[in-house]
Structure 1
Amino acid sequence: MTEHTQVAGLSTDHLSNIESHLERCYIQPGKLPGALTLVARRGEVAYVKAQGLMDVERNKPVRRDTVFRIYSMTKPITSIAMMQLYEQGRFLLDDPVHKYIPAWRTRRIYKSGVYPNFLTTPASSTMTIRDLFTHMSGLTYGFMQRTNVDAAYRELKLDGSRSMTLEALVDHLAELPLEFSPGTAWNYSVSTDVLGYLVQLLADKPFDEYLREHIFEPLDMPDTGFHVRDDQLERFAACYQYQAGDQFTLQDDPETSPFRRKPQFMSGGGGLVSTIDDYFHFAQALCQAGEFRGRRIIGRKTLEFMCRNHLPRNQDLPGLSVGAFSETPFAGTGFGLGFSVKTDVAKSQTNGSVGEYGWGGLASTNFFVDPVEELVMIFMTQLIPSSTYPIRQELRAIVNGALL
């Protein structure tokens, strides 16, 4: 039996395969500019490694305190914020959305036509707040490029134009048809942006202020927010776009990035920047039943509830999804209140535990929490789109292989 050096029951020798794999397969061949990976178990950081460059043009190496665009890894944070309000009795999951957004009372379903001349039919069900959490609302994303409805989203810039406001988003969405009757299918969408609007409405304070007071300050997340402050600029990564032939080109320069300005549109679906340690504090709070360093952000039972599969009849995503895009492979994966949830390890074809949950972001960032093993993994890089390479599954294979 080989002797292992270990931290928290993880082989440090095996974890070093993360560095060699990323270097050999992604960074050295020029597929990724750089990467930063953190693995923790039982609250102890067992592995953290910066590799490659955060800014190729300026030859700046990735640092542990690099500021990244986390895009859809904003969604779990927004979902926790909304469920904090649930714990205060401010809403129920089966409440119709129109109780809070009256203009959404009469929702219609797309039948044919192009914007603004749609032919529609009445919805057969009422959209509930749970439908927003689970992406079963009938809303969509413009980048799907699948239907005439998402073409209208692109025309109206509903995917998060920084000049949009949450109020304007909700008003525009009231005028557009849904892709399907709520609760009948799964489609990745702007639903979580609508949850951000509801947080602001129910808490009666700006969404960014609410997050700062109730999540970022309690968890010591000083580098997380909707824009990059002047004092963070030196640490702000460039973002890159995949090009054919395993190349990438600059997509967003840190100096001129829209993230340098405070946006009007506080996107609960994808607007935050963060660092790996800030996000670790959040993920570790989830792993520890809602509490980190003595500060609780969500109740234990509420978190258990969020991390169950809320898809009807315990189905996984292949049984319900109408769109091809997700930040997780579909098979063996259900969806909870703001996270994907692993329901069948064998079907998922990636090792892990039933009940593992997490999500990823547009620029290939990713995290997961495995409550069975008390394991947290966070991966940061900046390459769009996130579907370019199967890094997330490869990292799960390596990290789970390190468990002793």
Structure 2
Amino acid sequence: MSTAAPERPITVEEDPAAVGFDPARLARVDTHFRRYVDDGRLAGWQAVVARHGKVVHASTHGRRDEEADLPVEADTRWRIYSMTKPITSVGALILFERGELELTDPISRWLPAFAEPRVYVKGSATAPLTMPSPEPVRVWHLLTHTAGLTYGFHHAHPVDELYRSRGFEWGVPEGMDLAACVDAWAQMPLVHTPGTEWNYSHATDVLGRLIEVVSGQSLDAFLRAEILDPLGMTTTGFQADDPSRTAALYALGPGRTRVRADGMGEPFLRPPTWLSGGGGMVSTASDYHRFTQMLARGGELDGVRILGSRTVAYMGRNHLPGGLDLEQVGRPLFAEMPFHGVGFGLGVSVVTDPAAYRTLVSPGEMAWGGAASTAFWVDPAEGITALFLTQLLPSSAHPIRSQMRSLVYQALVD
């Protein structure tokens, strides 16, 4: 972890009424989600809302560790899982801005295992029929999850089963580092031809390995030097800096009861065997809030510029083929958010049609979340950023993301 100055506590910085919120209506965020703790759906949570760069709501409720009776506090550490992906994606865009890679470059230029990808045609996981891919896997395919890679935990396609049979479901085979994982994924068939469909996958993990090869640094060192330290994100990393302040992990068990999941949560408390740019980080509300503010301000925060403003704007455009949404080009699989009216940019989802989304949002909203029900969004149109942090697997367990949006936007009255 970094030896930089201690993190800045997350506190309310602005009267909500001064930036267009009705304070009484904004308080509904807490009223609503307290019920999640009171009835046992969640052990605890933390919520942060900001507008025009100022925090207008910051709250915690419940226990970070229910069995030990430890409360959620302002500096609680959370496993952010796939909220790691936007950080890794920003890392790749830093290299893009420096001319060290092009979005259209075949990744085999740096990762030779991807020189001759093959695409699944039909058959079982034990005897798949494949064909040579008519298109190479390119950098932009990794950033948009259109590379044809997958996750073993999807349980939606024979190639998913193939990943599981090789030890890739919620983890990786013992002893494998990131380079070895990428080589293994490259030897398995693609679910589809790159650039033709969207399939949530290990693409961002491969992107992390690409960053390593292009930069000549390990992924953790590169992200620390280029993003985390410059932004003052001192408690964010691939291992919890203080396990005693880290939230316990829970999962839905039989009958939708909540059970402790220490086995899945423990890897975040020790040095990682592989660096997952797609889901391996631990963070705090104050740290991740700074990351959202950097995006909201067009790549700059407190005089430190991470990306150019045009790059952030480009990141937040829909890059899916034909300008279609996830419902039209996404593979049918579980999701914690609707696919209608949502496209995908470079590392983040992008709202294209709020009416089709059936949720109170703005066009152009950039967002993503994590497997343990965490979520964030950045709304350039309204100047709003929001975070919801908790620790419950899977993220589809409850409609937290849509409810958080409704609760925030119903309080906006300017």
Structure 2 CA distance for aligned equivalents of residues 361 and 390 of structure 1: 13
Equivalent residue, structure 2, for 1:49: 59
Equivalent residue, structure 1, for 2:219: 207
Q: State the one-letter code of the partner of 2:221.
A: E
Structure 2 CA distance for aligned equivalents of residues 300 and 334 of structure 1: 20
Does the 8 Å contact 1:328/1:340 carry over to 2?
A: no
TM superposition shift of 1:158: 3.2
Does the 8 Å contact 1:327/1:359 carry over to 2?
A: no
Are 1:376 and 2:385 counterparts?
yes
Equivalent residue, structure 1, for 2:160: 150
> In percent, how many aligned pairs have the same letter?
43
Does the 8 Å contact 2:113/2:186 carry over to 1?
A: yes
Structure 2 CA distance for aligned equivalents of residues 8 and 44 of structure 1: 9
* TM superposition score normalised by structure 2: 0.93
Given candidates 233, 236, 249, the residue that maps to 1:224 is 236
Does the 8 Å contact 1:327/1:361 carry over to 2?
A: no
Does the 8 Å contact 1:90/1:202 carry over to 2?
A: yes
Equivalent residue, structure 2, for 1:94: 104
TM superposition shift of 1:27: 1.1
Structure 1 CA distance for aligned equivalents of residues 96 and 106 of structure 2: 14
Are 1:304 and 2:305 counterparts?
no
Equivalent residue, structure 2, for 1:268: 277
Structure 2 CA distance for aligned equivalents of residues 83 and 287 of structure 1: 16
Equivalent residue, structure 2, for 1:137: 147
Q: 1:135 to 1:101 in 2, by over 3 A?
A: same
Equivalent residue, structure 2, for 1:174: 186
Equivalent residue, structure 1, for 2:8: none
Spell out, residue by residue over 1:295-346, the C-alpha distance to the aligned partner (whole angstroms, 9 max, x if none): 1111100111110000122110010012313453201000000000000011
Given candidates 10, 15, 39, the residue that maps to 2:26 is 15
Equivalent residue, structure 1, for 2:91: 81
Equivalent residue, structure 2, for 1:322: 331
Structure 1 CA distance for aligned equivalents of residues 412 and 175 of structure 2: 46
Given candidates 188, 191, 203, the residue that maps to 2:203 is 191
Can you give the 5+ residue segments of structure 1 that lack an aligned partner in the other structure?
none
TM superposition shift of 1:6: 1.4
Does the 8 Å contact 2:156/2:333 carry over to 1?
A: no
Structure 1 CA distance for aligned equivalents of residues 18 and 200 of structure 2: 37
Structure 1 CA distance for aligned equivalents of residues 168 and 244 of structure 2: 31
Structure 2 CA distance for aligned equivalents of residues 134 and 274 of structure 1: 23
Does the 8 Å contact 2:16/2:57 carry over to 1?
A: no
Structure 2 CA distance for aligned equivalents of residues 257 and 268 of structure 1: 18
Equivalent residue, structure 1, for 2:251: 241
Does the 8 Å contact 2:16/2:56 carry over to 1?
A: no
Are 1:340 and 2:340 counterparts?
no
TM superposition shift of 1:114: 4.3
Structure 1 CA distance for aligned equivalents of residues 389 and 379 of structure 2: 18
TM superposition shift of 1:244: 4.3
Q: 1:7 to 1:383 in 2, by over 3 A?
A: farther
- SS of aligned partner of 2:261: strand
Does the 8 Å contact 1:143/1:150 carry over to 2?
A: yes
- SS of aligned partner of 1:277: helix
Does the 8 Å contact 1:108/1:121 carry over to 2?
A: yes
Structure 1 CA distance for aligned equivalents of residues 268 and 412 of structure 2: 38
**Which 10-residue stretch deviates more, 7-16 or 311-320?**
7-16
Q: 1:106 to 1:59 in 2, by over 3 A?
A: same
Structure 2 CA distance for aligned equivalents of residues 303 and 39 of structure 1: 21
Spell out, residue by residue over 1:23-58, the C-alpha distance to the aligned partner (whole angstroms, 9 max, x if none): 12x111111111100000111100010001110110
TM superposition shift of 1:117: 3.9
Can you give the 5+ residue segments of structure 2 that lack an aligned partner in the other structure?
1-14
**Which 10-residue stretch deviates more, 6-15 or 114-123?**
114-123
* TM superposition score normalised by structure 1: 0.95
**Which 10-residue stretch deviates more, 161-170 or 194-203?**
161-170
- SS of aligned partner of 1:398: helix
Does the 8 Å contact 1:188/1:325 carry over to 2?
A: no
TM superposition shift of 1:11: 2.0
Equivalent residue, structure 1, for 2:9: none
- SS of aligned partner of 1:218: helix
Q: State the one-letter code of the partner of 1:167.
A: A
TM superposition shift of 1:5: 6.2
Q: Which residues of 2 match residues 104-123 of structure 1 at below 5 A?
A: 104-115=114-125, 117-123=127-133
- SS of aligned partner of 2:194: coil
Q: State the one-letter code of the partner of 1:333.
A: V
Structure 1 CA distance for aligned equivalents of residues 336 and 292 of structure 2: 17
Structure 2 CA distance for aligned equivalents of residues 99 and 191 of structure 1: 16
Does the 8 Å contact 1:163/1:263 carry over to 2?
A: no
Does the 8 Å contact 2:340/2:357 carry over to 1?
A: yes
Equivalent residue, structure 1, for 2:134: 124
TM superposition shift of 1:240: 0.3
